[in-house]
Structure 1
Amino acid sequence: MTEQEGVIKFQLDFTRQSVLQPSDTVEISSWRTVMLQLGMLGQTPLRYDNYGFGNISQRCGSGNQFIISGTQTGGIQAMTASDYALVTSCEPTRNYIAAVGETKPSSEAMTHGQLYQIDRSINFVIHAHCPQIWQQASSLLLPQTSAEVPYGTVAMAGEVARLFRETDVLQQGVFTMAGHEDGVVAFGASASEAAGRVINCYARALSR
């Protein structure tokens, strides 16, 4: 049995408040639509027991705050600012996240937060679900988190840190979650760089 999607596992300090403006989410929503059209993000009865899958985020400001798609928003075709959350604090060692918005942050917010803290050059993160990439991760020479580590946990944040220490993940900008079915994470200095990296991996996987 696969693990249920969308379950928040961290301690969440959430304030329900309208803080994001439409202008704050124009870019992230545009790229989310691209991922939705590629089937790497969304919600369908044919996958994962009809739970929403995939999420997307972008750094907000000069610190480590970031905007991220809300939990279980995969079924929304056209997102508005109210469908995102602003994560104001992420502390992986404490399993703690503070966020504000009209929707709670994605269950993968901890992983996104860890990436923003690890490297200041990362400004955009996509957590896609792509079976073609995930199943061929080894042949594509992609870094992989341990199969024993579930998504959205302190252990996963630790695994992400390990990849940065032990692999060329910073250069590749893509890794897979061996313990999270079809889970692929891409990141970059810009939205186009992050998206381009996962799309390139997808094309390579399809050509094999």
Structure 2
Amino acid sequence: MNLNAGHEREGVIKFNCLHTEGPLPVEKGLPQLLAWRRILHGLGLIGQTPERYDGYGFGNISVRVGESGFLVTGTQTGAPLALTPQQCVLVTAWDTRRNEIRSQGPVRPSSESMTHAVLYELDPLLGCVIHAHCPDIWHKGDALGLPATRSEVPYGTPEMAEEVRRLWRETDAPSRGIFVMAGHEDGVVSYGDDAQAAGNIMVDHLARAYALEHEESRR
């Protein structure tokens, strides 16, 4: 895998966000979303620290709501260990070709919401998408045999949406439940039927990456 990603500023929203500010209109799926977001924060896969990415927040999680929307953690909400519903937002519609997302809630959606959207579009059975920042998985993507987006494709763009579609057509990404974003430093995306499934896939691959590291250290 060609990991030539430059240090791109984290958390920048690159799509046109048509946002309606107000209370979160639905709470279905929130308990699982908030629980797994806390687990991922504890593992350092979602967060915000001065030492990483110039202090910007990183990582996000979403859950599908009905047939035409999803709840996602808000942009730059990485710092707290535990989020509240006031830090989540409902994405109600999207158009990857026009690079546009419509949302409703107390905060604006994560800068990676377009990637979440295209995954829900590609597989109607997906119930959760996680975008984590995990150097251990990212650097061992080849050794783990993970599908990867091309290194020249930036996150949060229509080009990334098309790249995810390419992975769906040309690789085992649909069945693997995880891929690496080669052009987005440490970016790893997992997905599954629900938050537990998507979270378990991410944690399982983290354990596999640790095991590889241990094997390499013994050589």
List runs of 5+ in structure 1 lacking aligned partners.
Answer: none
Match of 2:33 in 1: 28
1:186 equivalent in structure 2: 190
| Cα distance in structure 2, aligned partners of 1:120 and 1:24 | 16
CA distance in 2, matches of 1:71, 1:129: 15
Q: Tell me, yes or no, if the aligned pair for 1:20 and 1:81 is still in contact at 8 Å.
A: no
Is the counterpart of residue 144 in structure 1 residue 169 in structure 2?
A: no
4+ residue segments displaced more than 4 Å? 21-24
> What secondary structure is seen at the aligned counterpart in 2 of 1:151?
coil
Q: Which residue pairs with 1:159 in the alignment?
A: 163
Percent same amino acid at aligned positions?
48
Are 2:37 and 2:82, in contact at CA under 8 Å, matched by a contact in 1? no
Change (3 A) 1:57 1:173: same
Q: Which whole-Å CA distance do the structure 2 matches of 1:133 and 1:107 have between them? A: 21
Q: Which residue of 1 aligns with 2:216?
A: none
Residue number in structure 1 paired with 2:217: none
Residue range with higher mean Cα deviation, 40-49 or 15-24: 15-24
Name which of 49, 59, 63 aligns with 1:54: 59
Match of 1:100 in 2: 104
Code of the residue aligned with 2:194 in structure 1: it is: S
Larger Rg: 2
- How much is the aligned-residue C-alpha RMSD, in angstroms? 1.1
Q: CA deviation at 1:107?
A: 0.2
Asked if the contact 1:43–1:74 (Cα under 8 Å) also holds between the matched residues in 2, the reply is yes
TM-score (norm 2): 0.92
Normalising by structure 1, we get a TM-score of 0.97
After superposition, the C-alpha distances for 1:106-163 in whole angstroms (9 at most, x for unaligned) are 0000000000000111110000000000001011100000000000000000000000
Aligned residues: 207
Deviation at residue 21 of structure 1 after TM alignment: 5.4
Determine the C-alpha separation between the residues in 1 that align with 2:82 and 2:40: 12
Could you tell me how far 1:30 is from its partner in structure 2?
Answer: 0.3
**Pairs within 5 Å for 1:190-205:** 190-205=194-209
Kept after mapping to 1: 8 A contact 2:94/2:117 = yes
Q: Secondary structure at the match of 1:9?
A: coil
2:13 equivalent to 1:17: no
